[in-house]
Structure 1
Amino acid sequence: MMNNLFSIFDPSTNLFNLSLNWLSTFIGILFIPLSFWLIPNRHYTLWNFISLKLNNEFKTLLGTNGFKGTTFIFVSLFFFILFNNFLGLFPYIFTSTSHLNITLSISLTLWLSFMIYGWINNTQNMFIHMIPQGTPPILMPFMVLIETISNIIRPGTLAVRLTANMIAGHLLLTLLSSTGINMPNSLLGFLIFIQILLLVLESAVAVIQAYVISVLSTLYSSEVN
């Protein structure tokens, strides 16, 4: 039963031995209508409003030491994860963000970039972050060890957080839908209502997780400046 349950996350679709499931990562481009590129319209207004809000917030988190244009990286990251999270809620569309292949690739790439830049250009600042201000001298070796471990596991926590949230919601929806076969007709309406509520909740989780990943990445970036 567990094998059948988790099989919904298997990238099984292929053509000429080429996995096509991962192409769902690029379906988000279809959400951008052609008119978006031609004239200002409602799509453009909504997209521009969200982008500007995120850009201002990320700019505040980065502070005055951040490079100009850095916020666009995190805005793009937000939309990329948001599209993939939402697409996974549609039937027969592979949820790429439920796999560590995608989430760990994103988080590890960002984290390595921050670490390489920080240790090369701001070495003293990186050492300062190892010991919080006001730490007693006797606790300094332990604080360095704790801060080092917490820094190393950051990409893993980012990736697992997103993957676990996507898997949990999809598994719950699958479990409830599988019980509908043996359920009396009088309770089917209640089951459908619960499924709709779960879909609304999963839609909120899709937005929240994309926002959390983007904000945390921005905070990690601000530490190396």
Structure 2
Amino acid sequence: MTSPESQPPTPQPAEPESKDRVYRSAPAIAGGVLLLAIAGWLGVDAVITGEGRTPWLALALLLLVVPLVVAFTLRPAVYAGDDRLRIRNPFRIVVVPWGQVASLRSAYSNEVLTESGAKYQLWAVPVSLRARKKAARREMRATAQARRGMGREVSRGGALGTTEGLRQGFSREPLSDGPVRAETDRIMDDLRGLHEARRQAESARGEVTVRWAYEVLAPAVAGAVLALILVGLG
């Protein structure tokens, strides 16, 4: 009989790895799907019904257009993990450890600035000035509502002649949990918070890496060259 001391220790289950937060642009994805559907319909129709070099030219243009549409609409994404920020732009993939991030800036575009001075745009998190203006109007309406509600409570407290009523008027809960922000601005706030929390971590150190998306560039260049040859041949 095996003694309890000689029994092998029970293996402990491995801690699950935290998954990256993924940010993408829903309008860009919807537009990309629509453009691909139109390009596919026109291209297939030209291949089937076209004569002479038309089917070959249609194929060349599809080879050029489809990768570009995918690159600028479906492909862009931002992956935020505990140790690094991975940016998938139309033609490049940039991996920036949190320790190398100097700041996350929002102006007319959302960008990451590294400690070395390099700047990378976040294509998947585009700035919408219209959404910012809409959020500002909502914030103004919420503030006005809160002030009107506070005024009513203060008036009621004063009419009752009690300090308790006055105190309740000023302690009314706000109508919103915080400032109203555009969606992309909220995403940037999340990224800044993650950066502040993880930039000093030992595992968040490393070098910035940049890789070109040859899987997009190669077919697009091939389609452009083939289209030029076919057009040149007349």
Band the TM-score falls in, shorter-chain normalisation: under 0.3
Task: Identify, as 1 or 2, the structure richer in helix.
Answer: 1
Could you tell me the TM-score, scaled by structure 2's length?
Answer: 0.26
Task: Identify, as 1 or 2, the structure richer in strand.
Answer: 2
Q: Which has the larger radius of gyration?
A: 2
